[in-house]
Structure 1
């Protein structure tokens, strides 16, 4: 299989290198196009107002001085000449569950790949320290060998989160929905004077709400979570109340626009 690897931790990060090694050993052809340094929490940002540089580090390996989405865009619009069978973003150092998916450059790179018409997976490991990347990489290979690409990726993206456990201690797989937790204490003030202040976006690590079938619950229970992600952000449950408001205000059709404002 011909696979594009990318991430948001940077091209030298141990997660993407462990995945590269495992996939090469399994006989896959790898193209690696990733940021030249860490771009965590870059979300779906695209660089528009400065020039970017792509450096060829080795055969089929490029570092990009941009975001994860920049990497995917240049990969498919310029660097890659032959079709790929799959895009994998990761292995990310730290989970991407629940609201994390909105901030994650790892997930965004997979979503951008899907927008380009490619099957894509984001994979993360549930620890910020002492990660067992080889365990997660071996499971990624095992999932591929068991047909996850053909059977589970007709559309959209699979967001996979792996417990930070030895491969033999992982209890199995669960198909999940995104969990929920709310971050607090985002702003850390570093210094302050009469004209302003310096700060850092920090944040704590709040506990997850207990939700059946959530990604967080699965990982906490020792299972790999597989969450299918799509592009539909519409909330149909709100249609009724919004339409009722429009009707109540007689705004369905405005006859005298000039007198309405």
Structure 2
């Protein structure tokens, strides 16, 4: 089994080091990750400049680009093999509900999925990230299952793990994405030079955290596994838009 690993926290993040060590039990591992934290980069590709790839002393490759850049470069030219699976993470902080649209962790996995490779994104659902062994346990369980029963088609799974000790985990739930309220207002500050600048505010509170959602699973100490798709077409609106255009 040949694994490609990436993330959005950067190649020095504890989560990606823990992930690489965990996956080394199952096969060959190559890490291609951003040179610095690129959280919130979403699915952006760098098209306005060339990208450089360097190799760290531990063997990890790091790129001066986004998580999507990392996977795209690795699969389409950097590596001399095609990965059997791409795994992104382990992210420090949750990627649930609407947050998945902005997540660089999920974006790295999404790029692999678009290139026809099964992909999983793992996030530890707390910024404290005190329980990386729990996330590694989830990685082991899901990869073992993938090896026992390989997917017939590429899949994209978004996995969130409660930031609690392994023995407190209550199981695994297959979930859907929940929803948040609107984000909090931007934070306006003034620099020492008198310039007004704005920080993006924190995410809004949870609006839809009912049974079956990723938020609900995490709140109940369960690992959340959400299968994702890329087709954004609003099929139920197509007839209405046709009528609107032609009337």
Q: TM-score normalized by structure 1?
A: 0.87
The alignment yields a C-alpha RMSD, in angstroms, of 2.1
Matching residue of 1:118: 117
User: Are the structure 2 counterparts of residues 179 and 204 from structure 1 closer, same or farther at C-alpha, using a change threshold of 3 Å?
Assistant: closer
User: How far 1:59 sits from its partner (Å)?
Assistant: 7.0
Alignment of 1:148-187 (within 5 A): 150-151=149-150, 154-187=153-186
Q: 1:196 to 1:12 in 2, by over 3 A?
A: closer
**How much does 1:140 deviate?**
0.7
Note the alpha carbon deviations across 1:2-49, whole angstroms, 9 max, x for none. 10010000001011111111122x242110000011000000111111
Q: Which residue pairs with 1:13 in the alignment?
A: 13
Structure 1 gap segments, 5+ residues each: 250-261
Q: Deviations over 1:69-128 (max 9, x none)?
A: 110111112221012111000011111111011100011110101111111101101100
What does residue 85 of structure 2 align with?
86
Instruction: Provide the residue aligned with 1:146 in structure 2.
Output: 145
Unaligned 5+ segments in structure 2 are none
Residue matched to 2:48: 49
1:82–1:60: structure 2 CA closer, same or farther, 3 Å change rule?
Answer: farther
Give the distance between the partners of 2:203 and 2:238, measured in 1 at CA. 35
**Segments of 4+ moved more than 3 angstroms:** 147-153
Q: CA deviation at 1:60?
A: 4.9
Q: Distance in 1 between matches of 2:3 and 2:241?
A: 44
Residue 196 of structure 1 and its aligned partner are, at CA, apart by 6.8
SS in structure 2 at match of 1:226: strand
Residues 156-213 of structure 1: CA deviation (Å, up to 9, x unaligned): 3011111111112111111111100023324111128xx9721111324513423231
Query: How many pairs were matched up?
Result: 246
1:183–1:203: 8 Å Cα contact kept in structure 2? no
Query: In 2, are the aligned partners of 1:8 and 1:92 still within 8 Å (CA)?
Result: yes
